[in-house]
């Protein structure tokens, strides 16, 4: 396993990290189909991840209504200090009007609940899970700053925020002497390269770590779903009631899969491993989060850390997956060389 620095924290994290959305919720209408793993299965997956050198694990208070955190804490046990442990706050965790969002009231309650479920006295990376338009950054960053000073949180981060929102938060942190986001978690894949328009350049410019969720686009890039509609057994996206999440343009997606299969054949590896290795070759990416329902799946995904794609591989994949240029990117590119002296 290879390791990369998490932003400017000086903390090394594995470039493949373990996601826990598959933990718990066997009877839950959302999390059951995603995995619904019980204690024994979670223990095996977490143990396999740690033994493979994965030292970065990501969860959230909302996953399986908190059961994911609880199972993860039990599985880590005495090995808690071997990992950089990340969780999130924002999504509804109860029926009340204050059981969600960024208010100091909710954040402090949610943090204490996560600490209890995880069986730990601190969270290494505490992340705002989504944007809350009702709570000013000054309010939530002050609350998170208190948590850092209390020793209950080491670093703070965010997920699913726009680049301008993160930049605004960084300005608030600098102006008021508050902790700043160390990392942003975003959706990014070969069939979802939107992050490249604003988030990737922002992360590079600000020195923020970029962690990637759903790198296989909800299983689409595992290669188990074919253009003719045929699917391998257990393929979630093949079921009629499975949501298109993250959304994928199927025709474009199958064009990408065609090239992925060619590259995978060159290396004698799985399509999924190539898709993960492509992300690891992208600028600004710190760690790619993989979720697994089976140990074998985790082992194959973790092996992406050792797969080095050739220039030809990357060129082929970049060409077939390239997103359209958006304004003002396309016009800035037109004038990119205007300030270069003539040779």
Cite the active site residues: 63
Rounded to whole angstroms, the Cα distance separating 38 from 21 reads: 12
| Residue of 124, 45, 4 whose CA lies nearest to 291 | 45
Nearest 5°: the CA angle 15, 18, 22 is 150
How far apart, in Å, are the Cα atoms of 130 and each of 17, 28, 38, 186, 193?
A: 20, 22, 27, 10, 19
Rounded to whole angstroms, the Cα distance separating 170 from 137 reads: 9
Pairing verdict, β 84-89 and 153-159: unpaired
Nearest 5°: the CA angle 191, 196, 198 is 135
| Residue of 298, 301, 303 whose CA lies nearest to 47 | 298
| Residue of 231, 251, 228 whose CA lies nearest to 321 | 251
Q: What are phi and psi for residue 58, nearest 5 degrees?
A: -120, 135
Burial of 294 (0-12, 13-18, 19+ CB in 10 A): middle
| Residue of 150, 135, 147 whose CA lies nearest to 101 | 135
Rounded to whole angstroms, the Cα distance separating 321 from 242 reads: 24
Rounded to whole angstroms, the Cα distance separating 186 from 213 reads: 6
């Amino acid at each position: 396993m290879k390791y990369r620095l998490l932003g400017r924290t000086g903390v090394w994290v594995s470039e493949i990290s373990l996601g826990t959305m598959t933990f718990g919720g066997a009877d839950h209408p959302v999390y059951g189909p995603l995995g619904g793993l019980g204690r024994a299965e979670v223990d095996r997956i977490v143990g396999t991840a740690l033994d493979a050198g994965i030292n970065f694990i990501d969860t959230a208070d909302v996953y399986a209504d908190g059961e994911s955190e609880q199972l993860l804490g039990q599985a880590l046990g005495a090995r808690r200090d071997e990992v950089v442990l990340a969780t999130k706050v924002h999504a509804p965790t109860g029926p009340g009007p204050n059981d969600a969002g960024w208010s100091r009231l909710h954040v402090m309650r949610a943090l204490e609940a996560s600490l209890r479920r995880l069986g730990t006295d601190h969270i290494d990376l505490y992340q705002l899970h989504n944007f809350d338009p009702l709570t000013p950054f000054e309010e939530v960053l002050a609350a998170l700053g208190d948590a850092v000073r209390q020793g209950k949180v080491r670093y703070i981060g965010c997920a699913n925020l726009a680049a301008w929102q993160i930049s605004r938060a960084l300005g608030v942190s600098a102006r008021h002497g508050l902790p700043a986001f160390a990392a942003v978690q975003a959706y990014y894949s070969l069939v979802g390269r939107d992050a490249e328009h604003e988030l990737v350049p922002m992360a590079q410019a600000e020195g923020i770590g970029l962690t990637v969720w759903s790198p296989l686009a909800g299983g689409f890039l595992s290669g188990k779903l074919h253009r003719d509609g045929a699917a391998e057994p257990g393929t979630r996206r093949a079921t009629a009631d499975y949501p298109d999440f993250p959304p994928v343009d199927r025709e474009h997606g199958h064009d990408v899969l065609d090239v992925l299969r060619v590259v995978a054949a060159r290396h004698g590896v799985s399509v999924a491993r190539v898709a993960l290795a492509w992300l690891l070759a992208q600028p600004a990416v710190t760690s790619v989060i993989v979720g697994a329902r089976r140990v074998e799946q985790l082992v194959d995904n973790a092996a992406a850390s050792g797969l080095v794609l050739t220039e030809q591989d990357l060129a082929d994949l970049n060409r077939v997956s390239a997103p359209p240029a958006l304004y003002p990117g396309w016009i800035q590119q037109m004038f990119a060389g205007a300030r270069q002296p003539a040779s």
